[in-house]
C-alpha cells in the first residue's frame, strides 16, 4: 500500500514538474549624467552648477539623492542596488525577463554613449546572474543602435536561432526544449503610434514605415503560435509596450490602433496555449484582462513597475518582481513584488529592497487566471470592498502619501479614480475604453 502511494506521488511530481522562479525587470532608464550634485528637477539631476547658479550653492537648491529622485531617471547606484537585491533575495532562478527601456529618456546621448551604457547594464546583469539567461525585449528608448549591434551585446544570452530573427527586426523566440513552453519576445516598437515612435525615423540601416506587417513580425508571431499549438507547447508573450491605454489619468494609447486591435485578436485566437503576457512601459504596477468576442475573460497581462522612479504621468518607488511558476507547463502560480522606499534609502544612504506584497495573499486570490483577475477588477467598483484601496497603493509602488496626493487621480476612495482604473484594466480597445468611461460618467450625472 505504501509502495503504491509512493509510486503515485512520484508520478504526480513528474507530471506537475518542479517549482521555478524568474525575475521581471523593466524600464531601468539608466542616466549616466545623473549626479547627486545635480539640481532636481530643474536640470534632470545633472551636475550643472556652473550653468544654474554660477557655481554657488543656493540655499533653496534641491539636490538629488544617492539612489535617485522622483523627478529624474536612474543613477548607477540604484541599478547596482537592484542587481544585488535580485541576487540576494532569490538568485536561484530559471531566467530573467528584461522588458526594455534600459536607457534614459533625457536628451544628450549619442549612439556611442548609448551603446556603452547598454554594455554596462548587460555586463552588470551578466555578473549578477552567472550561468543564467537574461532575455531582453526592446523598448522605445533602446533604439538608435542597429539590431546587429544589439545582438552582439547580448550574444551570450541569445541562441543562434534567436539571433537570426533578432538581427532582422528585434524579435525572437526562446524554446525551452526540455520543457513544454516557449517564450516569444516581440518588438513592440514596430507597432507604436507614429507620434510615439522614433522607429518611423532611421534606426540603424532600416527605415520602418507603418505598413500592415512591419518587418513581417505579425506573420512570424502567428506562425510561432501556430507551431507551438501543434507541438502542444504553452507560451509566454513578452514585450515592452502593451495594448490598451495608460492607467494614469491621460488614458493615452501607445500602440497604433490597427496593431492594438490585431494583437487582441491574435491573443483571443491562441488564448488556450498562452500562459502569461509580461510587459512594462507605463512604469506602474497593474494588470490587464483580455476578453473573447462574447465577453468571457480568456487571457491576462501583467505589467511590472519600473526601476526608475520617474515617469511623465507621475512618480513611483523603484520595483522588482519575482514570479513563481510551474516549470513543465509554464503555469504562473504567484509573484512577489519588491520595492525600494526611495526617500528612506537616500536618507540613510543604504538601499533596503523589501517585499511589498505577494499577489495571491494581497488580493485574496486562489489562483492567477483571466477569470480571477476579471473578478478582482470588478471589485474595484464595489464600495464595500477594499481591493481598489490595495491596488491604488501598489499601483505607484507604495509611493509616500504626500507625493501621491500631488500626482494621483483623487485617492483610493474616489469613485471616478476607481472607474478609470477599472476601465484601463478591462477595456484594452481604446475606443471601448473611452466609450465605457463616458457612459459611466454620464450615467452618474443623472
Q: Convert the chain into a string of H (helix), E (strand) and C (coil).
A: CHHHHHHHHHHHHHHHCCEEEEEEECCCCECCCECCCCECCCCCCECCHHHHHCCCCCCCCCECECCECCCCCECHHHHHHHHHHHHHHHCCCCEEEECCCCECCCCCCCHHHHHHHHHHHHHHHHHHCCCCEEEECCCCCCCCCCHHHHHHHCCCCCCHHHHHHHHHHCCEEEECCCCCEEEEECCHHHHECHHHCHHHCEECCEECCCCCCHHHHHHHHHHHHHHHHHCCCEEEEECCCCCCECCCCCCCECECHHHHHHHHHHHHHCCCCEEEEEECCCCCCEEEEEECCCCCEEEEEEECCCCCCCCCCCCCCCEEEEEEEECCCCCEEEEEEEEECHHHHHHHCCCCEEEEEEHHHHHCCCCCCHHHHHHHHHHCCCCCCCHHHHHHHHHCCCCCHHHHHHHCCCCCCCHHHHHHHHHHHHCCCHHHHHHHHHHHHHHHCC
- Which pLDDT score, from 0 to 100, does residue 313 have? 76
Q: Which of 228, 171, 238, 187 is nearest to 22 (CA)?
A: 238
Nearest of 183, 101, 97 to residue 138 by alpha carbon: 101
User: What's the rounded Cα separation, in Å, for the pair 45 and 355?
Assistant: 28
Contacts of 51 (CB under 8 A, 6+ apart): 43
- What is the pTM assigned to this prediction? 0.91
Give the three cell numbers for residue 94.
530559471
CA dihedral 245, 252, 410, 313 (to 10 degrees): 110
Q: How far is CA 50 from CA 47, 54, 58, 373, in A?
A: 9, 4, 12, 52
Query: Would you state the pLDDT for residue 380?
Result: 93
Task: Record the cell numbers describing residue 22, joined without a space.
Answer: 524568474
Query: How many C-beta neighbours within 10 Å does residue 52 have?
Result: 16
Which residue is it, cell 491621460?
250
Give the chain's length: 446
pLDDT at 223: 98
Contact 303, 424 (CB under 8 A): no
**Domain spans of the chain, in order of start:** 19-37+57-366
Which pLDDT belongs to residue 442?
A: 66
Q: Right CATH number for 19-37+57-366 from 3.40.50.300, 3.90.76.10, 3.60.21.10, 2.40.420.20?
A: 3.60.21.10
The pLDDT value recorded for residue 143 is 81
> Quick one: pLDDT at residue 340?
99
Rounded distance between C-alpha atoms, residue 300 and residue 333, angstroms:
13
pLDDT at 49: 52
Regions of the chain with pLDDT less than 50: 5-15, 50-61, 197-207
Amino acid at each position: 500500500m505504501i509502495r503504491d502511494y509512493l509510486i503515485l506521488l512520484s508520478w504526480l511530481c513528474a507530471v506537475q514538474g518542479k517549482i521555478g522562479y524568474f525575475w521581471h525587470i523593466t524600464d531601468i532608464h539608466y542616466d549616466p549624467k545623473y549626479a547627486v550634485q545635480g539640481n532636481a528637477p530643474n536640470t534632470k539631476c545633472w551636475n550643472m552648477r556652473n550653468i544654474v547658479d554660477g557655481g554657488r550653492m543656493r540655499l533653496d537648491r534641491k539636490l538629488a539623492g544617492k539612489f535617485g529622485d522622483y523627478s529624474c531617471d536612474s543613477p548607477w547606484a540604484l541599478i547596482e542596488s537592484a542587481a544585488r537585491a535580485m541576487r540576494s533575495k532569490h538568485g536561484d532562478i530559471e531566467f530573467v525577463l528584461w522588458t526594455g527601456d534600459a536607457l534614459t529618456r533625457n536628451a544628450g546621448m549619442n549612439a556611442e554613449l548609448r551603446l556603452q551604457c547598454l554594455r554596462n547594464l548587460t555586463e552588470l546583469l551578466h555578473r549578477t546572474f552567472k550561468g543564467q539567461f537574461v532575455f531582453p525585449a526592446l523598448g522605445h528608448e533602446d533604439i538608435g543602435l542597429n539590431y546587429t549591434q544589439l545582438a552582439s551585446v547580448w550574444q551570450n544570452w541569445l541562441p543562434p536561432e534567436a539571433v537570426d530573427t533578432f538581427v532582422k527586426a528585434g524579435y525572437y523566440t526562446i524554446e525551452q526544449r526540455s520543457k513544454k513552453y516557449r517564450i516569444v519576445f516581440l518588438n513592440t516598437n514596430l507597432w507604436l503610434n507614429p507620434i510615439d515612435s522614433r522607429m518611423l525615423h532611421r534606426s540603424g540601416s532600416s527605415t520602418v514605415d507603418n505598413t500592415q506587417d512591419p518587418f513581417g513580425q505579425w506573420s512570424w508571431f502567428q506562425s510561432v503560435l501556430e507551431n507551438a499549438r501543434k507541438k502542444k507547447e504553452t507560451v509566454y508573450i513578452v514585450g515592452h509596450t502593451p495594448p490598451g491605454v495608460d492607467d494614469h489619468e491621460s488614458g493615452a494609447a501607445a500602440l497604433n490602433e490597427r496593431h492594438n486591435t490585431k494583437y487582441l485578436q491574435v491573443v483571443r485566437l491562441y488564448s488556450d496555449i498562452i500562459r502569461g503576457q509580461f510587459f512594462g512601459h507605463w512604469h506602474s504596477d497593474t494588470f490587464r484582462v483580455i476578453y473573447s468576442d462574447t465577453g468571457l475573460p480568456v487571457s491576462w497581462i501583467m505589467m511590472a513597475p519600473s526601476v526608475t522612479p520617474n515617469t511623465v504621468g507621475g512618480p513611483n518607488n523603484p520595483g522588482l518582481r519575482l514570479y513563481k511558476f510551474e516549470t513543465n507547463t509554464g503555469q504562473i502560480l504567484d509573484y512577489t513584488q519588491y520595492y525600494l522606499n526611495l526617500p528612506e534609502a537616500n536618507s540613510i544612504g543604504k538601499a533596503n529592497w523589501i517585499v511589498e506584497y505577494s499577489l495571491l495573499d494581497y488580493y485574496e486570490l486562489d489562483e492567477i487566471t483571466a477569470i480571477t483577475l476579471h473578478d478582482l477588477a470588478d471589485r474595484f467598483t464595489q464600495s464595500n470592498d477594499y481591493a481598489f484601496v490595495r491596488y491604488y497603493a501598489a499601483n505607484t509602488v507604495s509611493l509616500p502619501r504626500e507625493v501621491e496626493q500631488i500626482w494621483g487621480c483623487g485617492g483610493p476612495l474616489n469613485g471616478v479614480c476607481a472607474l478609470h482604473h477599472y476601465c484601463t484594466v478591462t477595456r484594452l480597445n481604446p475606443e471601448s475604453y473611452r466609450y465605457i468611461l463616458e457612459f459611466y460618467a454620464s450615467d452618474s450625472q443623472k
